Structure 1
Amino acid sequence: MLALVVAVVLFPAAPAAAALPGDLAHVGDARQLIVVTGRGWSSTYATVRAYQRGGDGRWRQAHGAMTARVGYGGWVWAAHRAQDTGTTPAGTFTLTRAFGVRADPGTRLPYRKVDGNDHWAGDSRDAKTYNLFQPSASPHRTWRKSQAERLAAYPKQYAHAAVIDFNRPGGVRWDAKRGQYVAGKPADTRRGSAIFLHASGTGSTAGCVSVSRANLVRLLTWLDPARKPRIVMAPASAITRA
């Protein structure tokens, strides 16, 4: 969801407090973590840091504090997030793929350079395509174009992006008859779609996390799927429970 909302940018406060990876819950076997620390449940500012766990089991900071923006509606726990509220889901999520209007910057994540045909469907009336990438707006599709993001229409925000695996469907397959991807286990259409780590726009986002394009490239080129990366996101007061 895009960073299009706040036109008046206030001076950001000091970086949000850091959370040590060893204190975080739900990181599983991840050996890379991007930690997004919000400044409060209603704040649209956050701080991003990145950590990597070495062969000795110790976590070390790989990238220091980066200023970030989050949803115009602040934060809410992922289980309670509702579509069209502008809130950023608090929790821990995997990072498994990336895309962008610009060419692959050198990430090891699977990367798609998007073109004018590529969409991200978020039609709450069509559960089987909800929160799925679609390579075209096929005339036989079941999702409404008005309820999808044409990715190339946002060359600044989607110069590069990593998909945050919030409310993602399962059992995805290609439906050749309809010319679309469909899910055997659809996402929850009440909770929202298209939550990404993407490049900064003009202010707060509609639920995504945004950082400068230069910082996003640093993160993307650092991420390694072999290290099972995850992103941990929550206000500072709750980050250890995310």
Structure 2
Amino acid sequence: MSVYRPSAARRPPYAVCAGTCAAVLLLLTACDNTSDSATGPRKGRVTASATAGVAGPQADGQRGRAAPGPYSPRIRPREIPRLGPRTRTAIPADSRQALVVTGDSYDSSLSTAVLYTRDDAALGWRAATDRWPARNALYGWTDEHWENDLRTPTGVYGLTSAGGLLDPPGTILPYNQSPAFAVSGEGFDGDSLEGSFDYVVAVDYNRIPGASPLDQTRPLGQKRGGGIWIHVDHDGPTQGCISLPKGRMRELLQLLDPAKKPVVVMGDVPALER
């Protein structure tokens, strides 16, 4: 009778796996510890000599990137509201005062006025006055003014001289006081014109800048009109001028400074927004 005897060499499967894995791990460890001097740096491996003296992302990924500085928002200079690019461009770069007269509509004789100043170019324009009631010509505005069309010319014009029937109210603009500024009669609505030219500021439309408001020279010709002033309101439409209440005229004359190259920017809303 034969007797069954189990083989001593047979081992459970898990024992074979454990032994094989241990051997593989030992082999990998030995490979990883291979001297660089013998085999040189292995591909994909960063050695101490390769990173010595290297800063920033080359050595340490994103950790070497310089930290951003403090946030400093860009401040845009303030612009005069409701003016389009063409109108803004028409304001001289060295002008630091702008009287903006905005008509209610193209055919309206009612408008409002605000004086803006730009004392700091980095900060831009700011309103120096409240919004004042104003009037313009009987039939409103025009881009091409002609004599007796009873419209006020739109655009940007210098303010370089003043005058009036009364003494200058503390203005530093060139001021021509003369009895020639006396006026009488009635306006379009039966309003009295007396006192309308007690104070005036000449608008440099079709005139020689700096000349007296009474100067009759018309560089564009007489047919293109002239004598456009800012003057005292007489409670009715004008023939082409801008009018302000008497108190506001005094204030305007006291604020305008020839060193700031003042201008008037005037027109109906669509004209100013171009």
Could you say whether these structures have the same fold, taking a TM-score greater than 0.5 normalized by the shorter chain as the test? yes
Query: Amino acid of the residue matched to residue 101 of structure 1?
Result: L
Instruction: Find the counterpart in structure 1 of residue 162 from structure 2.
Output: 98
1:106-117 equivalent positions in 2, closer than 5 A: 106-115=170-179
Q: What displacement does 1:85 show?
A: 1.1
Deviations 1:195-234 (A, max 9, x none): 0000001300000000100011111100000000000001
Q: Is the 8 A contact 2:83 2:272 kept in 1?
A: no
Question: For 1:67-93, what per-residue CA distance to the aligned partner results, in whole angstroms no more than 9, with x for missing partners?
Answer: 10100021001xx21101110000000
Match of 1:11 in 2: none
Which 4+ runs in 1 deviate beyond 6 A? none
Equivalent residue number for residue 23 of structure 2 = none
Task: Please state which structure has a larger fraction of its residues in strand.
Answer: 1
- Aligned residue in 2 for 1:166: 205
Counterpart of 2:247, as a letter, is A
1-structure distance, mates of 2:216, 2:231: 24
Q: How many residues align?
A: 181
SS of the aligned residue for 1:37 comes to strand
Deviation at 1:170, TM superposition (A): 7.5
Question: 1:218 aligned to 2:248?
Answer: no
Q: What is the RMSD computed on CA atoms of the aligned residues? A: 2.6
Q: Deviations over 1:134-157 (max 9, x none)?
A: xxxxxxxxxxxxxxxxx2125511
- Listed one character per residue, the Cα deviations across residues 18-43 of structure 1 (whole Å, up to 9, x for unaligned) are 53698723111210000000111101
| Greater fraction helix | 2
The one of 185, 188, 195 equivalent to 1:156 is 195
Residue identity opposite 2:89 in structure 1:
A
Classify 1:171/1:40 alpha carbon distance in 2 versus 1 (closer, same or farther; 3 Å): closer
Cα 1:200/1:170, change in 2 over 3 Å: closer
Give the alignment's TM-score, normalised by structure 1. 0.68
- Aligned equivalent of 1:68, options 134, 141, 147: 134
- Structure 1 portions without partners, runs of 5+: 1-17, 119-150, 173-179
The residue that corresponds to 2:100 in the other structure is 35
> TM-score of the superposition, structure 2-length normalised?
0.61
Larger RCO, structures 1/2 (Cα 8 Å, 6+ apart)? 1
1:193 and 2:226 matched: yes
Gaps of 5+ in 2: 1-80, 185-193
Counterpart position of 1:233: 266
2:110 corresponds in structure 1 to: 45
Quote the offset at 1:56 in angstroms: 4.0
CA pair 72-24 structure 1, distance change in 2 beyond 3 A: same
1:19 and 2:87 matched = no
1:126-141 matches, within 5 Å, as none
